[in-house]
Every structure is written in structure tokens, then in C-alpha cells.
Amino acid sequence: MTHPVIITCAITGAETSREKLPPLPITPEEQAVAVEEAVKAGASIIHLHVREDDGRPSQRKERFEEAIRAIRKRSPEVILQVSTGGAIGESIESRANPLSLFKSIRPEMASLNLGTMNFGEEIFYNHPRDILFLASEMQKYGVMPEIEIYEAGMLESALRLLKKGLLKEPLHFQFVLGVPGGMSGDFKNLVHLVSLLPHPSCHWGVAGVGKNQLPLAVQSLLMGGHVRVGFEDNIFYRKGELAQSNAQLVERVVRIARELGREVATSEQARKILGVSSKVMER
């Protein structure tokens, strides 16, 4: 039997704005409500970016702490994955900020981006030195990396880091497909990426950007992978119709998963599948 699908919800991101999408959660309390709804709908991991009250993307440690406290109050079971990608142009020091929360309210996972790329009209800069820095900070603080892959060479870079001992098995990959500058959401690309994984102990999911979100989610469900949805990657429910909430996007994947015979993982099951520790030092 195929394992349950882990649904990650990327509730806010760094690129979308309130002007484009009125229900975008921005403040810690709005984020906590969005998480509670998404978890109720079936999400077990939250990929977390934070914003200042005026909507500006932020990597401030205190802001992450506020958001995490608010989220854990309403959803103590959910796995929190902080972004170390941040917004384009953030310094590497601030991108590492949420990792150092390990002393108080340790996030359990963090994103780790494996290469530099064109990102729409901008450049998402990930110097090899910075990747090593973030990977070693994650090891130091016991935060599990989710390896973000936007094109095939990045996956191969991750495997080199594994060989050098800078990443540890089991690896967990998120294939982010459809960013202009990275691999597109063509079905063949996901098949190819999965074929490059060294062995079945690797975990993988797919985050389709924009109109790719739903078709790639379905493909991943059929191929036995995990799924990420949410406002960070896509603001539409269908062509021309904005999504009403992150939960609405989660609910649709849950319905399809069940129709296809895939159970939906609880946070506890997701922890077991991925090997994420459940000890949170303080709530």
C-alpha cells in the first residue's frame, strides 16, 4: 500500500501581496488562523515566511518567534518549517535567523535552497559557501532540511553534499516546478527528477507554481510523492478565480488524494515518515 501523502501548506511566501490577494495572512495572528484552518483541512507541515505588519517580507528572528508562538497556541501538533530562502536580496545572515530560535521554540524543519537561479525577473542568489553555511547551521541546531530543487543540477549538488557528509539521510526533497528560470511544470520534468533520486529512502514532494499547482499535485499523488500547496506558490483556485483561503487549496488536494486511494498523513504520521523529531523545547 502506498504511504499516506504529506501535505505541506506554504501559507504566505515572500512574493505575493495583499493588493493581489486580499486573504493573504500577514500578521502572526492571521497566520495562526490560516494554519489552524489548513491543518483542519489536512496539512501536516507549514512552510513559513513571515511579514512585518505593513506586509514587507521579513527574516527578523523576533517576528518568526511571534508567529511560531501564535501558530503553536492554535495548532500545537503541526510541523513548522521555516524559510531560509526569504525574499530575493536578503542577506545570508538574516536568512539564517529563524534557525537560531532553537534555544526557545525550535522550528523542526527549514528550507535549504541548493543553487543560484533566475527567478522571474530577478536572481535568487545561493552561493555554494552560503549553502554550506545554512546546511551546517541546520546540523548544529538539529533542524531538518527540506531541500528545495528548482532544476536537476541542484539535485545533483545535494547528492554531492550527501557524499561529503554535509547532508544526512534520509533526504527530503521539495521539487519546486514552474518558476520562470527553473524547470517548468511539464510532467516529464517530475518523472526525470524522481528518476535521479539515489534510492527509495529519499522522500520527495512537489510544489507546482501558479497554474502548475493542481496538475503537479495530482501527478505527485499518482507517483507516490507528497504535495505542497498554498498562497506562496499559487493564488488562484482556478483560472480567473482567486483562492479564498489556504485551506481551500488543501481541501481540494485532500479530496483528490482520497479519490485516488491515498490517505492523508497527520502531523504525527508525517513526523514518523520523514524522521522529524517531535521534541519541541518550549511552547
**Is the CB of 119 or the CB of 133 nearer to ligand KMH?**
119
**Is the CB of 28 or the CB of 182 nearer to ligand KMH?**
182
234 binds Zn ion (CB under 5 A): no
Minimum CB separation of residue 165 from ligand KMH in Å reads 22
Minimum CB separation of residue 146 from ligand KMH in Å reads 8
Q: Which residue is nearest to Zn ion (CB)?
A: 83
CB 15 within 8 A of CB 237: no
CA 57, CA 90: separation in Å to the nearest integer? Answer: 10
Minimum CB separation of residue 179 from ligand KMH in Å reads 8
**Is the CB of 85 or the CB of 178 nearer to Zn ion?**
85
CB 154 within 8 A of CB 183: no
**Is the CB of 119 or the CB of 256 nearer to ligand KMH?**
119
| Cβ atoms within 10 Å, residue 121 | 8
**Is the CB of 119 or the CB of 133 nearer to Zn ion?**
119
CA 3, CA 262: separation in Å to the nearest integer? Answer: 7
Partner whose footprint covers residue 36, from Zn ion, ligand KMH, none (CB < 5 to 8 Å by kind): none
Residues near ligand KMH, by CB under 6 A? 14-15, 83-85, 87-88, 111, 113, 119, 124, 148
Residues from 55 through 94 that contact Zn ion (CB under 5 A):
83, 85
Q: Find the radius of gyration of the CA atoms of the chain.
A: 17
Partner whose footprint covers residue 263, from ligand KMH, Zn ion, none (CB < 5 to 8 Å by kind): none
**Is the CB of 88 or the CB of 223 nearer to ligand KMH?**
88
Minimum CB separation of residue 209 from ligand KMH in Å reads 10
Minimum CB separation of residue 95 from ligand KMH in Å reads 8
Minimum CB separation of residue 53 from ligand KMH in Å reads 20
Binding site for Zn ion (CB under 5 A): 83, 85
